[in-house]
Amino acid sequence: MRIGLDGFPLLTPLTGVGHYTFELVAPGPFPGSIIEDIRLTCPDNLRAFTVEANSIHRRRWWAVGLPLYLRKASLDLFHGTNYEVPLWSKRRSVLTIHDLSILLHADTHEADLVRRARRRLPVMARSASMIITATESVRREICEHLHVKADRVAVTPFAPRSGFQAMPAKQANQTKERLGIEDEFVLFVGTVEPRKNLLTLMRAFDQILRQTSRRPQLVVVGAAGWLILVEPNDVEAFARSIVEILDDEDRRRALSRRGLEQAAKFSWQRTAKLTLEVYREILRHLNE
């Protein structure tokens, strides 16, 4: 079985889609340049290819350049891990749709990307042999809003990266000291962009500082996305929740423990296994 995967998400600093693509094809640590490390240290069954394309192919990559390459490459299947698949007449493709926020919450995305998604995503969904997503809720949204039959959408739950685990106390203290982080803080991790609703968190923190005696730090970790902010939802409820958790150490520890227990139920090995089952099902139907 020769499978091609979209490597575009690996070419820029990795966010959610890039980490998904990377973990799916090569679970394990690869420092430095990911593509170069895959070339040098990947398993025998994995290869990284750079495809030469002329100016027309680059402008029409998904519609012209990639389909032309795939016909020469003799691949059994292509997996588009980031909402795009080649318009390949043999329909041997898998499309990962991570969520439909760009359609259902268009005001939290850049306008030109929304226009592109409205035009292209329904076409991509129709072109793919199967669609993969991470949750049952998104699966239902795909079926409803993209008019896809339920048997064409498979759920393969994603997993946390290996770095998301408790850090040794000594190392944690050294990191906090280096970054100037005090003992009481709340951590936000994610690309700073409107759909993360960071403004609600900031306003909730402002309310905590003005209305309580607590003085926690707000630590924001994430690359700049676009535009940073949207109107808040329920700031007061958010502020109350933060204070309640800060005031209750037993609850904090319980939530932390439950989070780690929940995360332990998922693994990238399981994600890869379920994805492989999708590949085999498609090829089995093609050979019937």
199 in a domain, yes or no?
A: yes
Which pTM was predicted?
Answer: 0.74
The answer to which of 12-21, 22-31, 42-51, 111-120 has the lowest mean pLDDT is 22-31
Judge if 120 and 178 occupy the same domain.
Answer: no
The answer to which of 7-21, 52-66, 86-100, 162-176 has the lowest mean pLDDT is 52-66
Judge if 13 and 144 occupy the same domain.
Answer: yes
DSSP, res 49 = -
Q: Which sign, positive or negative, has the C-alpha torsion 258, 264, 270, 275?
A: positive
Please tell me which of 22-36, 112-126, 181-195 the model is most confident about, judged by mean pLDDT: 112-126
164 in a domain, yes or no?
A: no
User: Which residue did the predictor score with more confidence, 149 or 263?
Assistant: 149
26 in a domain, yes or no?
A: yes
pLDDT digits (tens, 9 = 90+) for 55-113: 555 567 887 788 888 888 888 899 999 999 988 666 689 999 999 999 998 887 889 98
Judge if 8 and 28 occupy the same domain.
Answer: yes
The answer to which of 141-145, 245-249, 269-273 has the lowest mean pLDDT is 245-249
pLDDT score, position 278: 95
Q: How confident is the model at residue 46 (pLDDT cuts 50, 70, 90)?
A: confident
Q: How confident is the model at residue 230 (pLDDT cuts 50, 70, 90)?
A: very low
Average pLDDT over residues 153-162: 89
The total number of structural domains in the chain stands at: 2
Three-class SS of residue 173? Answer: helix
Judge if 195 and 255 occupy the same domain.
Answer: yes
Judge if 124 and 181 occupy the same domain.
Answer: no
Judge if 105 and 195 occupy the same domain.
Answer: no
Judge if 196 and 81 occupy the same domain.
Answer: no
CB atoms < 10 A from the CB of 206, how many? 13
Measured CA to CA, the distance from residue 222 to residue 204 in angstroms comes to: 19
Q: Which of 79, 265, 47 is nearest to 154 (CA)?
A: 79
Q: β-strand 153-155 against 93-96: which pairing, if any?
A: unpaired
Judge if 71 and 52 occupy the same domain.
Answer: yes
pLDDT score, position 31: 47
CATH number of the domain that residue 139 is part of: 3.40.50
| Alpha-carbon separation of residue 149 from 117, 143, 144 (angstroms) | 20, 6, 9
Judge if 139 and 19 occupy the same domain.
Answer: yes
Judge if 10 and 153 occupy the same domain.
Answer: yes
Write out the residue range of the structural domain in which residue 278 sits: 3-159+267-287
